[in-house]
Every structure is written in C-alpha cells, then in structure tokens.
Amino acid sequence: MGQTIAEKIIERHAAAGRISPGQIVEARPDRILLNDVSGPLAFQEFERMGATRVSDPEQVVLVQDHFAPAPSLGGATAMQAMRRFRDSQGIEHFFDVGQGGIEHTLLPEQGLVRPGDLIIGGDSHTCTYGAFDAFGTGMGSTDIAAALALGEIWLRVPKTQRFVFRGGRRPFVTGKDVILRVLREIGVDGANYQAMEFYGLGAFSMDERMAICNMVVEGGAKAGFVAPDEVTRRWASGRLGDAFTLVAADGDAQYLTTRTFDLDSFGPQVARPGSPGDVSDLTDVVGQRVDQVYIGNCANGTLTDLRQAAEVLRGRRVARRTRLIVVPATQEIYRAALQEGIIEDLISAGAAVSTPSCGACFGGHMGLLAEGEVAITTTNRNFRGRMGHPDAGIYLASAYVAAASAVAGAVCDPAEVLGERKR
Amino acid sequence: MSGAGTGRIQGKALLVGDNVDTDQIMPGRFLALSDEQELGRHVFDGYEERVRQGIGAGTILVAGQNFGCGSSREHAPIGLRGAGVQAIVAKGFARIFLRNAINLGIPVVVSAEAAALAHDGSQVEISLGEGIVSVDGKECPVEPFPQFLQDLLQAGGLRQYVRRRLAGR
C-alpha cells in the first residue's frame, strides 16, 4: 500500500521500519525551532529535565520575533534568555533584531527548510513549511525542551485528508482565499490530529502556498502540504542548489477523505470576528467600517503580499479615519520592497511601515486594538481578544482586500479600487 | 487506565464552551511571564466573568469540543494549573494543547457524555485507574488514550521520561 507525504517524511526520520497512521514513533527532526515566547519556557524546562547540553546544536534554530524589538522589560528579559542559551549551547542558527524576521517566513529564506525535512517548532504555525514539501508541526515548550535534550521527539503518524483544486482562479483570489475557503468547509477542528495534502495549485507561487499551509492549524491539522511540483522544484533549486529530493505521495496512498473544489467557484473570502472558520464571501461583509488595517505576519507578510498592497495603494490614500500598519515579514523582504519602491508607495499612501515583528498579530505590541475597534488583517487568527481588547473585532483577508479596505475605510472589494479584471 | 495520571480526583465543575482557544485562556500580552502563580492570575482575562470568578483551587474544568485550539503557548495550561484547575474533562482537545497538558501532568480526560451532563457546580469525580468520570453520581465512559501516552503519564509526564532517558545514556 502506498504512503502519504506525512507518512513518508516521518518514516524517514524514525528508526521504526515501515510505519502506518496511528502509530507512535520517536523521530529525529532536522530542525528544532524556538522563538522568544516559547524559548524561555523551554530553557527552564530543559534545566528541570536535568539536561545540560543540547543533543545537536545544528538542529536548533532560535528566532527573536514575537517581542522584537523588545516592548517591555519582560520582553527584553525573554530575548536575553534566548541570547544566553545561544551562548551557553553554541547555537549558530540565531537571528536577532535586524538579522532575520518572522520565523516561518525566515527559515525557508535562509535555506533552513528543505523538501522532505521534519521540523518541529515551539510555535503552532510551524506547519507553514508544508509549502516547501517539509513536515512542520508546532508543539509546546516542554516538548521542545525534550527534543533539545534528546534530539528526538515522539510523534503519532497522522491520517491525511486530500484537497483537490480544479480549474483557474477568479481575479484577486490568492492563497489566503484558498485556505479560508477550505476552513469554511471543514471548520476549526475538521482536521484535528490529521495532515492535509493540497493538489491542483500549480498557478500559486511559493509565497501563496505559505499562506495556505500556515493556516492548516486553524483547522486543527498537525501538518499540511502543497503537493510538490515544478514550482516547488524551481524554488528549491534556487535556494538549495541540487541538495534536495522532493517527497510526493504514492498514487495508491490512503486518504481519510478527498474533497474537490473548483477554483473558479469562489471569489475573495473573509473570516469574520471570533473564528478563522467563520468564513464568508467578501461580498457579504463589504461596507463594514474598519479602524485599523494590518498587513503582515507569518502567513501574509511576503513580498507577494506587499506587492499586492502597493498595487492597490499606489497613488491613493488611506482613508482619513483608518490607519494602516504594514509589517514586512523579514529583513530581506523589507529590503526587496524598498528596492522595488513598494515601501515608498505605501508610506506615500499613509501607511506606517514597521520592522519585522509578530507584535500586533498575537496581541503583544505595535498595533493593539481598543474596545469596540474593528480591524481587517492578513494575519491568521481572529480569536476574541487576539489583538488587544476582547471586544475588538478582527476580519481576516488577503493583502488585496486589506489594502482596498484601507483606501475605503471599510471592507472593500479590490475590484472596486482597481477596476474589474479579466481572469 | 484512561486519561492522565492515576488515582481519584474530585472537584466542582466549571463549564466553558466549544473551541475555547489559548488566546482566550491566556492572552498574548501575558506571554512574557513564566511563573505559574503569576500566569494563574491572568487566566481567562477578558473571557466570561462567570469563569473568571468561578475558577479556583480544585476546579475541574469541563469543556466542549476542541478545547485549547490555536497557539501552542504552554502559558495556557500552566496558567490553568496556577489558577487551581486540577483536571480538565472535555468533549475533545486540540492537538497541541493535549500534548502540553499531558507533558505537564495535568489530568485530561475525553468524555462527551460527562461534558454534556455537567453544569457549573456539578460534583465531578474522575477515576483514572478505571477510566470512569462521574458527574453528580452518574458514571460516564472515558475515551482511552494510546498506550504510549498512558505510559508517559505514569512515568510522571515528559520531564520524568526525559530524565530517565538521559540517565540511561
């Protein structure tokens, strides 16, 4: 019987022979990722476990992104703990303020994610790496501490659901809209404990695929993969030379379910406040007033997103009673956006452009919402209280929709701003 | 056995709904904290006042489906323990939260029947050895965890498991 991508990758990292779904194995990850929120708790637990040395410093990647740059004494202390761990353990893969950016956009950019890799991270959006044909999954700090100490972690081999897309997409439909459409279908626990595989997305760039895989965890999934194709191969050749092998599912792999979507059957999608699974067509929420627009985060802070935002905002102005915050996900993206003139366009339109940070997305700093305020964002979570006051409302959408909403001061169809477009 | 840990746990139920995410359990602005007692003071900040007021030493949290979805922040289960929660009964748990709770040795049991029966203040008794949770005297079955997880829990959580493995090297 054939295997899914998840089964193949786990099998190759475990010394357990042939594996099957449901089985629990000890696997050796290629990378163990920690950030300035999950790191300090993990270091504390690492000591309590009686560990003194990490199993393999080369496995470990430390990224300062949640508090970066430190907004408080507590945040500064957390970031200091990261630097101390780097120093005491001799960790090479370390990214401080000004050196990196948001972890899940950064790691692939740095060549630290390869097809076929197994990556565990102290962050739930570690699933983003499925865009690159890698098994990424999030865990808590105690699990991460165990992996640092042992070099291994236990994993239950997940069953997989398959999602097949057919046809071409409508104008202004992006990776974000694809994953929101999927979440609309399966709900916030429709893939709990499972893996997801996506097919038929050949027209979607790697940036858009990151947006898709980033949010599989909002459906409860442990990992999600865009089936590798020529787009994956081109990306990998560019970043990794020939040091990679794509991992595809077998033709006779076993799936829990297969769902098929026609790409031309839906337009831009928007998640309404409270749940990333409460998704509707953009047309149903058009006109909703927005106080803040936020373009950034590990799902949609890529150069592709910034280009989409600039396309909408170039030569236009952010509405008088609305504020726009744009956060390039990494230093490299920031610089590329500067060189392309995107940052100039955004600032001229009235945007506040910030250094890479997870700040406002997780309700930490750099753009929180007050009581009764409404935001539309390209982030991945709109849980109650996520970005500040519990009675602030958060809509999730693509950068096109977010930028158009900034111009209108209300949720707005990008076609209204840019004009109708041929497919 | 089923569920986490061993022995008998008794306490009063405090109900929360379906899909309670870790942002609601522990909002992002408290993530620079790491002390259990301190985190405990901020648990459910901004959530229903009934829950904020009702939580205390010995509370057995009774939740709906997909409890603990969202962020992997271990500050959430640590804070629940800091606030006095001694066990959680749910119709279901999100994946990462379940791992975190088991790793920390917080007894968690899956019982849709018990979760449906309970109301605030119900007397809940969990018999981990027998795999039974009773609500106001009515016994409900518990969904068993895989053997590996049961072993992990009997070893005292992940910390003890790692200690043993490191000692064996």
Question: Is the pTM here over 0.95, yes or no?
Answer: yes
**What type of residue is A279?**
V
Cβ-Cβ pairs closer than 8 A, A with B, add up to 137
What is the pLDDT at residue B4? Answer: 45
Cα–Cα dist A283/A365, whole Å: 31
Tell me whether residues B32 and A67 touch, CB distance under 8 A: yes
How far away is chain A from the Cα of B121, in angstroms, using its nearest Cα? 26
Residues 249-288 of chain A with CB under 8 A from chain B are 275
Q: What is the pLDDT along chain A (423 residues), one digit of tens a residue?
A: 899 999 999 999 999 999 999 999 999 999 999 999 999 999 999 999 999 999 999 999 999 999 999 999 999 999 999 999 999 999 999 999 999 999 999 999 999 999 999 999 999 999 999 999 999 999 999 999 999 999 999 999 999 999 999 999 999 999 999 999 999 999 999 999 999 999 999 999 999 999 999 999 999 999 999 999 999 999 999 999 999 999 999 999 999 999 999 999 999 999 999 999 999 999 999 999 999 999 999 999 999 999 999 999 999 999 999 999 999 999 999 999 999 999 999 999 999 999 999 999 999 999 999 999 999 999 999 999 999 999 999 999 999 999 999 999 999 999 999 997 755
The answer to whether B52 contacts chain A (CB < 8 Å) is no
In chain A, what residues touch B74 (CB-CB under 8 Å)?
Answer: 38, 41, 140-142
Answer whether A198's CB lies under 8 Å from A230's CB: no
Please state, in angstroms and rounded to a whole number, the distance separating the CA atoms of residues A73 and A79.
Answer: 10
- A384/B158 Cβ within 8 A: no
The pLDDT score that the predictor gives to residue A422 is 54
Cβ–Cβ < 8 Å for A77, B32: yes
pLDDT at B54 over 90: yes
Residue B153 has pLDDT above 80, yes or no: no
- Using CA atoms, how far residue A40 sits from A59, A144, A147, A168, in Å, is 18, 11, 15, 46
Q: Which two tokens stand for residue B145?
A: 């965890």
Whether B72 sits inside 8 A of A138 (CB atoms) is yes
DSSP state of B67: B
Beta-carbon separation of B34 and A40 below 8 A: yes
d(CA B115, CA B113): 5
Give me the residues of B, 121-150, that contact A with CB < 8 A: 146, 148-149
Closest chain B residue to the Cα of A122, Cα to Cα: B72
Compute the nearest-CA separation of B35 from chain A (Å).
9
| A38 Cβ under 8 Å from any chain B Cβ | yes
Q: Do A362 and B165 touch (CB under 8 A)?
A: no
The 10s digit of each residue's pLDDT in A269-289 is 999 999 999 999 999 999 999
CA-based R_g, chain B, Å: 15
pLDDT at B5 over 50: no
A386 contact residues in B (CB cutoff 8 A): 23, 28
A57, A146, A47: which is closest to A93 by C-alpha?
A: A57
Cβ partners under 8 Å of residue B10, min gap 6: B123, B124, B125, B126
* A146 close contact with B: CB closer than 8 A: yes
CA B165 to chain centre: 26
Q: Which two tokens stand for residue A220?
A: 């409860």
Confirm or reject contact between A370 and chain B (CB < 8 A): no
Q: Is the pLDDT of residue B3 over 70?
A: no
Q: What is the CA radius of gyration of chain A?
A: 21
B-contacting residues in A 344-363 (Cβ below 8 Å): 362-363
Q: What are phi and psi of B99, to 5 degrees?
A: -60, -45
User: Are A51 and B148 a contacting pair at CB < 8 A?
Assistant: no
Q: How far apart are CA A383 and CA B70, in angstroms?
A: 9
Whether pLDDT at B115 is above 90: yes
Instruction: Give B63 to chain A, closest Cα distance, Å.
Output: 15
Question: How many angstroms from the chain centroid is the CA of residue A374?
Answer: 22
b/e map of A151-167 (b: 16 or more CB within 10 Å)? ebbbbbbbbbbbbebee
Q: Helices then strands (H, E): number in chain B?
A: 8, 7
Residue at A215: amino acid letter = M
Q: How confident is the model at residue B6 (pLDDT cuts 50, 70, 90)?
A: low
Structure tokens at B143: 């969904």
CA distance A242 to A307: 29
Nearest to B72 among A67, A140, A193 (CB): A140
Cβ–Cβ gap B28/A363 under 8 Å: yes
User: Closest Cα partner for A30 from A185, A244, A262?
Assistant: A244
Interchain contact A193–B (C-beta under 8 A): yes
Find out whether A327 and A294 touch, Cβ atoms under 8 Å. yes
B23 at the A interface (CB within 8 A)? yes
Rounded to whole angstroms, what are the CA distances from A226 to A53, A172, A198, A209, A243? Answer: 36, 20, 5, 7, 20
Q: How far apart are CA A350 and CA A413, in angstroms?
A: 20
A374-377 and A393-396 beta bridge pairing: parallel
User: Which residues of chain B make contact with A44, given a CB cutoff of 8 A?
Assistant: 34
Could you tell me if B47 and B67 are in contact, meaning their C-beta atoms sit under 8 angstroms apart?
Answer: no
Do the Cβ atoms of A40 and B46 come within 8 Å? no
B33 and A44 within 8 Å at the Cβ level: the answer is: no
**A4 within 8 A of A160, measured Cβ to Cβ:** yes
Q: Is A189 within 8 Å of B19 when comparing Cβ atoms? A: yes
Smallest Cβ–Cβ distance between B159 and the set A48, A72, A389 belongs to A48
List Cα–Cα distances, B146 to A5, A184, B65, B151, in angstroms. Answer: 23, 31, 19, 9
CB contact under 8 Å between A50 and B75, yes or no, is no
| Token pair of A413 as six digits | 């169809």
Which chain B residue has its CA at the smallest distance from A362's CA? B28
| CA A55/CA A85 separation, integer angstroms | 14
Q: Which two tokens stand for residue A301?
A: 């802070």
Q: Choose, out of A126, A155, A192, the residue to mutate when testing the contact with B (most B CBs < 10 Å).
A: A192
The CATH code of the domain at B8-167 is 3.20.19.10
Q: Which residues contact A310 (CB under 8 A, 6 or more apart)?
A: A337, A340, A341, A342, A345, A346, A403
| Domains along chain A with CATH numbers | 5-262 (3.30.499.10), 272-418 (3.30.499.10)
In this structure, are residues A409 and A389 in contact, taking their beta carbons and an 8 Å threshold?
A: no
Contacts of A383 in chain B (CB under 8 A): 21, 23-24, 70
Q: Are A329 and A105 in contact (CB under 8 A)?
A: yes
pLDDT, position B2: 36
Which of A96, A86, A77, A195 lies closest to A136 in space, CA to CA? A195
Q: Residues B73-97: what's their mean pLDDT? A: 98
Q: Is B36 on the interface with A (CB under 8 A)?
A: no
Residues of B in contact with A358 (CB under 8 A): none
Taking the Cβ of residue A19 and every Cβ of chain B, the question of whether any pair is shorter than 8 Å is answered with: no
Q: How far is CA B117 from the centre of its chain?
A: 18
Q: Which residues of B touch A216 (CB under 8 A)?
A: none
Cβ neighbours of residue A91 closer than 8 Å, sequence gap 6 or more: A54, A57, A60, A61, A62, A85
Chain B segment 92-121 residues within 8 A of A by beta carbon are: 92, 94-96, 99-100, 103-104
